[in-house]
């Protein structure tokens, strides 16, 4: 499955946002297999970070001068925030760029596979907790959809997802939707090929 996902991510034309007014950043979308099923790793941001306090997101942050590309930004930030060593990540590809509305980031999502279990080291100034959520949870239409939400007096309409008492919205929810669109395309392709053979 991972080889096919990698192939599909490399073949598809991804959306690239070219806006010099946006702050370039990257996140790592970590996938892993637990109990025979794919899971996604999320972080809950601390109240000490400058932006997106307390929100559910992926490990990541702003590009720095020493980064040699967006992939390296995502890997560096994942190591700094939760201790995932870059050599332990099998990078599969990159999803569409996303723009954060209130903070003006251009977020480039890097999809990677990590081992499980993993000895995470949480940097408590940046991350309060990590969460492991089964990928299939998000594919159930009852666990997400388009909604209007109000934050800091501004109302946004967009994709949201729910997991237990957690609420995932904004760029993170849009990145998830992008991943699931690719994932469903992959499953359809695999089903069609198996049916034809």
Backbone angles phi, psi at 71, to 5 degrees: -60, -45
pTM for the whole thing?
A: 0.93
Can the peptide bond before residue 117 be classed as cis, meaning omega within 30 degrees of 0? yes
The closest of 44, 51, 158 to 105, measured between CA atoms, is: 51
10-residue mean pLDDT series, the chain (197 residues):
92 95 97 96 84 84 94 98 98 96 92 98 94 94 89 83 92 95 82 52
CA 176, 179, 183, 184 torsion-angle sign: positive
* Architecture of the domain made up of 2-138: Alpha-Beta Complex (3.90)
């Amino acid at each position: 499955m991972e080889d096919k996902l990698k192939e599909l991510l490399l073949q598809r034309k991804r959306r690239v946002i070219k806006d010099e007014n946006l702050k370039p950043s990257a996140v790592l979308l970590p996938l892993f297999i637990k109990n025979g099923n794919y899971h996604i790793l999320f972080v809950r941001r601390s109240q000490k970070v400058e932006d997106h306090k307390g929100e559910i997101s992926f490990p990541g942050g702003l590009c720095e001068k020493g980064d040699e590309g967006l992939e390296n930004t995502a890997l560096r930030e994942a190591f700094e925030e939760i201790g995932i060593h870059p050599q332990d990540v099998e990078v599969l590809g990159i999803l569409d760029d996303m723009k954060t509305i209130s903070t003006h980031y251009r977020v480039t999502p890097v999809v990677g596979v990590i081992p499980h279990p993993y000895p995470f080291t949480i940097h408590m100034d940046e991350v309060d907790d990590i969460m492991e959520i089964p990928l299939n949870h998000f594919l159930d239409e009852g666990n997400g959809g388009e909604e209007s939400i109000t934050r800091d007096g501004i109302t946004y309409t967009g994709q949201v997802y729910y997991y237990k008492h957690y609420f995932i919205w904004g760029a993170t929810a849009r990145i998830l939707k992008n991943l699931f669109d690719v994932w469903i395309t992959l499953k359809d392709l695999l089903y069609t090929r198996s049916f034809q053979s």
